[in-house]
């Protein structure tokens, strides 16, 4: 009965907030664009938000240090991310609630507060690093961070707080366009495609600790907690109807595939150019862009800079939203993109505070980004197993999901994904703390 009631409520919401309906008169070109924007959504946004400044730096380091050797992990990453993204989308559509709200209702306020506190700390650290990424990307064009970061922060705040959900979602989709710079950079680097194909299907391992760390980092950082938290809550706010669930699941899987094509492209480009020229140490995505220029030309540097800018802008926008969703849901408060402060004070205040604080820290010269990311990595590593466990348990609950619950081989695949991802994440925590 509860599931049927929720379905009725979602259908009522979808009258005004569901997938966009085409206006009566549109040119053929605008009609096609409108349809494409309607098909894209939270799945694409969430998956690509995971390819933030830290992710780009990780993939660049992998390519620079080991060439194509770790490309085979991309296939495993795609499978695991597709499963988790599909589950998050399904839970949002079926229950009409975000993950934090479900955890509070099903497991109590203590677990909800624990997860909320960890998310706030981890997301704030990542948000700072992504605003630093914005400054670094535009710094390649000679624009100082003290100018570029505040302007970007103001633009992001206006989109989230003053715009509507539909407008914000379309802007976030446009933010994914710069990601195409990475496949283009990979093509222009002229790799040996035969070697690339062989690396995808042939696992390669090396017996040293550095290789092990990058292997675990590549696999273990693919699924980050804020991606699923944002995806499930965004699907709810989008008002997706249950009869639209198959399309929403396909979009979530397609987003995961696209995100990992980007990851592979970064590895291919840096592996082709930097690894072959003996440049094996990359400390940031901006360093990778600068290192490409002497060997692949200024176009390669510009492409990597454009990709870094898009990645940083998207993640810097999504992180405050995901954090605010979680805290508002945990406290049972009003939430929603485009809500005014008097309508959803907690939601708006958290977004504003995160953006302002991240901006102030990011414009400090010489801010210790690497140390910050190490600390965030530890918090995320501890948080991810908790989040994935809740996703798995709630998705297979008949009480919560009704006939849409996970079962059979799909449930087994999800359980294996949760176990492996959690193990890798915890292993990364141990390695990080051991080397600190």
Per-residue model confidence (pLDDT) at position 16 = 38
Please say if the pLDDT value at position 215 is more than 50: yes
Q: How confident is residue 372, by pLDDT bands cut at 50, 70 and 90? A: low
For the chain, give every domain's residue range.
39-435
pLDDT tens per residue, range 139-170: 988 999 999 999 999 999 999 998 888 889 98
Q: Name which residue leads in pLDDT, 53 or 397.
A: 397
Tell me, letter by letter, the H, E, C secondary structure of 194-242: HHHHHHHHCCCCCCCHHHHHHHHHHHHCCCCHHHHHHHHHHHHHHCCCH
Q: How confident is residue 15, by pLDDT bands cut at 50, 70 and 90? A: very low
Q: Looking at residues 379-394, what average pLDDT do you find?
A: 82
The mean of the pLDDT values for the chain is 83
**CA separation for the pair 75, 261 (Å, rounded):** 10
Tell me the HSE value of 342 on the side-chain side, using a 13 A CA sphere: 0
Contact at 8 Å (CB) between 231 and 89?
A: yes
Highest-confidence range of 26-30, 131-135, 297-301, by mean pLDDT?
131-135
Contact at 8 Å (CB) between 301 and 290?
A: yes
Q: How confident is residue 10, by pLDDT bands cut at 50, 70 and 90? A: very low
Q: Could you give the 3-state DSSP secondary structure of residue 119?
A: helix
Q: Name which residue leads in pLDDT, 330 or 20.
A: 330
Please say if the pLDDT value at position 310 is more than 70: yes
Highest-confidence range of 292-301, 314-323, 408-417, by mean pLDDT?
314-323
Helix (H) or strand (E) holding 136: helix 109-139
Q: Looking at residues 104-128, what average pLDDT do you find?
A: 81
Please say if the pLDDT value at position 411 is more than 60: yes
- CATH code: domain 39-435 is 1.20.1740.10
């Amino acid at each position: 009965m509860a599931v049927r009631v929720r379905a009725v409520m979602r259908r009522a919401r979808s009258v005004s907030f569901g997938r966009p309906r085409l206006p009566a008169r549109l040119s053929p070109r605008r009609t096609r664009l409108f349809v494409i924007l309607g098909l894209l959504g939270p799945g694409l946004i969430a998956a690509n938000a995971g390819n933030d400044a830290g992710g780009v730096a990780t993939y660049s380091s992998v390519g620079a240090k080991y060439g194509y050797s770790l490309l085979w992990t991309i296939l495993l990453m795609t499978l695991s991310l597709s499963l988790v993204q599909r589950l998050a989308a399904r839970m949002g559509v079926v229950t009409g609630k975000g993950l934090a709200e479900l955890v509070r209702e099903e497991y109590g306020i203590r677990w909800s507060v624990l997860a909320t506190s960890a998310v706030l700390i981890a997301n704030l650290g990542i948000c700072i690093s992504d605003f630093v990424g914005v400054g670094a990307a535009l710094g390649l064009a000679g624009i100082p961070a003290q100018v570029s970061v505040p302007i970007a922060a103001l633009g992001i705040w206006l989109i989230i707080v003053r715009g509507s959900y539909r407008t914000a979602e379309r802007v976030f989709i446009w933010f994914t366009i710069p990601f195409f710079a990475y496949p283009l950079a990979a093509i222009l680097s002229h790799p040996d495609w035969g070697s690339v194909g062989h690396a995808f299907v042939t696992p390669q391992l090396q017996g040293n600790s550095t290789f092990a760390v990058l292997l675990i980092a590549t696999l273990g950082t693919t699924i980050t907690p804020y991606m699923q938290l944002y995806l499930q809550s965004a699907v709810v706010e989008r008002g997706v109807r249950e009869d639209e669930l198959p399309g929403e699941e396909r979009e979530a899987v397609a987003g995961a595939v696209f995100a990992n094509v980007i990851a592979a492209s970064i590895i291919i480009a840096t592996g082709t150019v930097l690894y072959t020229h003996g440049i094996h140490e990359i400390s940031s995505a901006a360093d990778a862009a600068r290192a490409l220029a002497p060997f692949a030309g200024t176009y390669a540097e510009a492409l990597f800079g454009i990709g870094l800018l898009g990645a940083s802008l998207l993640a810097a926008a999504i992180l405050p939203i995901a954090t605010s969703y979680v805290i508002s849901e945990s406290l049972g408060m009003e939430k929603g993109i485009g809500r005014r402060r008097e309508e959803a004070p907690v939601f708006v205040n958290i977004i504003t505070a995160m953006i302002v604080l991240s901006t102030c820290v990011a414009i400090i010269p010489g801010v210790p980004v690497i140390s910050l990311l190490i600390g965030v990595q530890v918090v995320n590593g501890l948080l991810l197993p908790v989040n994935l466990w809740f996703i798995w348990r709630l998705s297979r609950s008949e009480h919560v999901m009704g006939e849409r619950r996970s079962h059979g081989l799909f449930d087994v695949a999800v359980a294996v994904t949760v176990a492996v991802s959690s193990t890798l994440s915890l292993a990364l925590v141990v390695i990080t703390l051991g080397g600190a």
